[in-house]
Chains A and B, each alone.
Chain A
Amino acid sequence: MDRRLFTARELLCLAVLALVLVAWAVWPKSSGAAVVVQRGGGEIGRYPLDVPARVEVSGANGFSLTVVVQDGAVHVENSTCPDLICQRHAPISRSDQAIICLPGQVSISVEGGERRGPDAYAG
Chain B
Amino acid sequence: MDRMPTRADKPARRVALFGVLLALTVALAWAERLIPMDAVLPGAKLGLANLVVLCGLYLFPMPWALALTGLKILLTGLLFGSYYSLAFSAAGGALSFLAMVLCKRLGRTVAFTSVLGGVFHNLGQLLCAWALLGSMGILAYFPALLLAGMGAGAAVGAVGALILRRLWPDADKTS
Determine which residue in B38, B112, B157, B161 has the highest number of CB atoms from chain A within 10 A of its CB, and name it.
B112
Q: Hey, which chain B residues are within 8 Å of A5, CB to CB? A: 109-111, 157-158, 161
Q: Hey, which chain A residues are within 8 Å of B142, CB to CB? A: 24
Q: Hey, which chain A residues are within 8 Å of B161, CB to CB? A: 5
The minimal Cβ–Cβ distance linking A33 to chain B, given in whole angstroms, is: 12
Known contacts A25-B147, A120-B39; 20 additional CB pairs below 8 A are A1-B169, A5-B109, A5-B158, A6-B109, A6-B112, A7-B108, A7-B109, A10-B108, A14-B154, A17-B119, A17-B150, A18-B150, A21-B143, A21-B147, A21-B150, A22-B143, A22-B147, A25-B143, A121-B38, A121-B39
Q: A16 to B36, alpha carbons, bound, how many Å?
A: 30
The minimal Cβ–Cβ distance linking B17 to chain A, given in whole angstroms, is: 23
Indicate if B59 sits at the interface (CB-CB under 8 A). Answer: no
Indicate if B144 sits at the interface (CB-CB under 8 A). Answer: yes
Interface residues of A in 1-38 (CB under 8 A from B): 1, 4-7, 10, 14, 17-18, 21-22, 24-25
Q: Which residue of A lies closest to B115 (CB)?
A: A14
Please determine whether A21 and B112 come into contact, CB atoms closer than 8 angstroms.
no
Q: A47 to B149, alpha carbons, bound, how many Å?
A: 37
Number of B interface residues in the complex (CB < 8 A): 22
Indicate if B146 sits at the interface (CB-CB under 8 A). Answer: yes
Q: Hey, which chain A residues are within 8 Å of B144, CB to CB? A: 25
Q: Hey, which chain B residues are within 8 Å of A6, CB to CB? A: 109, 111-112
Q: A21 to B119, alpha carbons, bound, how many Å?
A: 11
**Chain A 103-123, CB within 8 Å of chain B: the 1/0 string?**
000000000000000001100
**Chain A 78-107, CB within 8 Å of chain B: the 1/0 string?**
000000000000000000000000000000
Q: Hey, which chain A residues are within 8 Å of B38, CB to CB? A: 121
Q: A120 to B110, alpha carbons, bound, how many Å?
A: 37
Q: A1 to B109, alpha carbons, bound, how many Å?
A: 12
Q: Which residue of A lies closest to B146 (CB)?
A: A21
| 17 A-B pairs in the complex with CB atoms less than 8 angstroms apart | A5-B109, A5-B157, A5-B158, A6-B112, A10-B108, A10-B111, A14-B150, A17-B119, A21-B143, A21-B146, A21-B147, A22-B147, A24-B142, A24-B143, A25-B144, A25-B147, A121-B36
Q: Hey, which chain A residues are within 8 Å of B165, CB to CB? A: 1
State whether A4 and B147 are in contact (beta carbons under 8 Å apart), knowing that A14-B115, A24-B142, A121-B39 are contacts in the complex: no
Q: A14 to B115, alpha carbons, bound, how many Å?
A: 9
Q: Which residue of A lies closest to B113 (CB)?
A: A10
Q: Hey, which chain A residues are within 8 Å of B146, CB to CB? A: 21
Q: A4 to B119, alpha carbons, bound, how many Å?
A: 21
Determine which residue in A6, A18, A24 has the highest number of CB atoms from chain B within 10 A of its CB, and name it.
A6
**Chain B 94-128, CB within 8 Å of chain A: the 1/0 string?**
00000000000000111110010001000000000
